[in-house]
Structure 1
Amino acid sequence: MERTDKPTRVSSRGAATRSALLKAAAQVFRTVGFAKAGVSEVVTVAGASVGSLYHHFTGKADLYFALYEEFQRRQQQRTHHAVLQARSEGESDPTRLMNIAAHAYLLGCIEERDTARLFFSGDGPPGFDYQLRVRLTQWTDRNVALYRKADEPVDEALLTVVSGGMLLAVAEVLGREDADARAFADDIARVLSALEPGR
């Protein structure tokens, strides 16, 4: 479920209120879970009014999706930076770049463990599981485009396996302590590299 309303100009005060509501929603969702959280708890933690919440969001689910979009933007920055770094070091193979991006995504989930758990715990609004699948499809499509741009053959079966495996990998790293989670993320990267064509 994506927001379809047109962006409007937001005053600095409005932006601060929106930010406070998102921060409060993240805190409340982490504490009691999405299903048990109430709008009244969110506005109390934010020090805002119910009216201000509905001025910026359509409700609790909209807050959740907005938090997810912000998390995804940070994750995209992490994966983009990792790929740029690899390219600067001479890497051009699309499969290796995809694997580097996947590893960076896992490390980002570990870095933002509490936030990532909000989205991979299964306690989200109706339609959110579909949103995760849409994002995985988009990620696969971007990788297919990367292969075609590099004039490489596209192994769509491999891309599908990697994309689907990422959901399981994220859930696994989020259930481990930091050092163990990082070691597991490295193991995932090693397994992915073993799937590279020609290996």
Structure 2
Amino acid sequence: MPAPAHVSAVPRQRRWATTDATQQRILDAAIEVFRERGYTVATIGDVVTASGASIGSIYHHFGGKAELFLAIHERMAVDVELRIAEVAAAAAAADSFEAQFRAYLDAVWVNRQTAKVLAADDIPPGFDRIRRDDMLTRFREWVSVLDIGIPAADGDSLLVRILIGVLSESAGMVMDCDDAAEVLPVVDAAIGYINRLIS
């Protein structure tokens, strides 16, 4: 049996930032397959069946199963980045952190099926580090707009780790919401806790 493929970290310039209709169809099918079967049990053949694409097309566009999983992550990351950039440009400096945090949780809600796949325990070897590094990068950017005495590069401070914990738990709760009306109280509560931590 071959060794499991490892996903590798990628630069902020996303490999799959733009995808054509076939790639989108494959990614949508892969999300559904990974959500229903789990990453480990799911096969490329399952994705072929769900997407209607050929196995050659999947390997051509993405490579193997681990790379397909990474492409799912990158597609969601692009959506998150676009939403955050949009609100950051419109928000006053004082409101930027809260606006970006809300945009992140909104993106989690909109992409909740994808987020559930990416947040699961059943992931490719090495993906947990990518997920953690992306979150640290995001928080370093957010902390840089706050006046709380933490250098932007200090991703290991206790406060940053606590803020990441609040973000992670809030995102988990948002993913589990069944209705959009349930999301706002979670987001408001998370912002309230964060404001208490940083004030």
- Flag whether TM exceeds 0.5 (same fold): yes
Partner of 2:197: 195
Answer with 1 or 2: which has the greater Rg: 1
CA contact (8 A) 2:166 2:194 kept: no
Instruction: String of CA shifts for 1:34-87, please: whole Å, max 9, x gaps.
Output: 222110111122222212211122211111110110101111111222222322
Once residues 120 and 173 of structure 2 are traced to their aligned partners in structure 1, the CA distance between those partners, rounded to angstroms, is 11
Once residues 123 and 110 of structure 1 are traced to their aligned partners in structure 2, the CA distance between those partners, rounded to angstroms, is 21
Partner of 2:9: 2
Matched, 1:44 2:40: no
Once residues 97 and 162 of structure 2 are traced to their aligned partners in structure 1, the CA distance between those partners, rounded to angstroms, is 12
Partner of 2:169: 168
Once residues 120 and 160 of structure 1 are traced to their aligned partners in structure 2, the CA distance between those partners, rounded to angstroms, is 18
The alpha-carbon distance between structure 1 residues 153 and 188, as it changes in their structure 2 partners (threshold 3 A), is: same
Once residues 99 and 24 of structure 1 are traced to their aligned partners in structure 2, the CA distance between those partners, rounded to angstroms, is 34
RMSD: 2.6
Partner of 2:186: 184
The alpha-carbon distance between structure 1 residues 42 and 131, as it changes in their structure 2 partners (threshold 3 A), is: same
Partner residue of 1:22 out of 19, 23, 27? 27
Partner of 2:135: 136
Partner of 2:3: none
- Residue identity in the other structure for 2:103: A
Partner of 1:109: 108
Partner residue of 2:89 out of 84, 87, 96? 84
Alignment of 1:43-82 (within 5 A): 43-82=48-87
Offset at residue 133 of structure 1 (A):
0.8
Choose between structure 1 and 2: higher helix proportion.
1
CA contact (8 A) 2:29 2:51 kept: yes
- Residue identity in the other structure for 1:112: N
- Identity among equivalent positions (%) equals 28
Instruction: String of CA shifts for 1:120-151, please: whole Å, max 9, x gaps.
Output: 1222211111111101221133234445xx8x
- Residue identity in the other structure for 2:161: T
Partner of 1:11: none
* Equivalenced residues, count: 181
| TM-score normalized by the length of structure 2 | 0.78
Gaps of 5+ in 1: 9-13
